[in-house]
Amino acid sequence: MQQLLSSILALVRRIAPWHPALLLGLWLLVQAAFLVKYHGPHYANDSARYLGYAANLAEHGYYKIEPGMAPTTIANNGVANFQYEHNQRYILYPWYQSVWLRLHAGWWGIVLGQMVISGLAALALYSAVRRLAGGRRGAAALATALFIAWPDVQQFNCYLLTESLFISLSVLSFWALVRARAGGWWGVVLVTLLLLTALVRPNGFVVAGAVGLAALAPLYVKKRRLFWLAAGAALLASPLAVWWLNRQLVSFFIVETYVRGELMFATPVWAVHPSGPLVLPPAGIGQMSRVLYFAAHNPGFLAKLMVGKLLVFFSSIKPYYSLGHRLM
């Protein structure tokens, strides 16, 4: 065993100077493998509505509402043009697609662009981890290799969906956060990337929330008074946050999804079932208010559901995996 470990360490030392080329080769191999697997750009699920919106933007330079259809407002709760309102929550992605459509690059342009941005995110991850590791290349190379070789991340570069840009922008936000600790204009870069992340998916605000919590940690250690001022301001702003989330989530049906108890969306084979009747929120209130009402009246069921969802998410297991794959 000792001899095997020594041989592995010797091999690592020999190839260490070549690790940038090896990482590039691995990245190219993974991208090519998924392009072959999906036979090029992969059309799935919500691709139709993104591409339809993008085609409208590419043709007119703005989204032109069809005759007889008015843009949805919060007041009519999405009845007039639900799809238009829903697409606003993913607005950056149709705009991104529309650029490639205007350039007549089509689906291939969209996917190859996603791959390039994902490659830049891998470079940014390498830089950020190396900076955090005190300049050590080993940790940076390992983190980047794992990112490149993670199929649940890289496969989405071929999809005509928001996931690829969302993942890449999240990684780029992490890189900017690490650099922003040095001050200067990096704070502006960080805020810009966080804004883009929030515009590509409605749950992008979570990334900004995580950055906010990360910023509070050093304040608690070094500037306790400023920390409590920031925490108090956040508490006072919570009603405004609920109002904003009610507006942002107007086209979603979150409580209805929770009631089904699914640990994975549209996968009833894995579901949490309540021990008794659930208390549902009254009609006429916003989506975030509905979620808070549901949580307050069904805490046990919601806690089990959230724990189950977290386990499934972080373990990356799927119901269609074999028992051996799940154990691994």
Could you tell me the sign of the dihedral formed by the alpha carbons of 213, 290, 293, 300, in that order? negative
> pLDDT per position in the chain (328 positions), as tens?
666 676 666 666 767 777 888 999 999 999 999 999 999 999 998 899 999 999 989 988 888 776 655 554 444 444 456 667 777 788 899 999 999 999 999 999 999 999 999 999 999 999 999 999 988 888 999 999 999 999 989 999 999 999 999 999 999 999 999 998 877 889 899 999 999 999 999 888 889 888 888 888 888 888 888 888 988 988 898 888 888 888 777 777 889 889 999 888 777 878 888 988 999 999 888 888 899 999 999 999 999 999 998 888 777 777 666 666 656 5
- Helix/strand/coil for 317: coil
Overall residue count recorded for the chain in this entry: 328
Q: What is the pLDDT of residue 72?
A: 47
Tell me how many degrees the CA angle 12-315-130 measures, rounded to the nearest 5.
35
pTM of the model: 0.82
The pLDDT of residue 108: 98
Residue 167 near residue 198 (C-beta atoms within 8 A): no
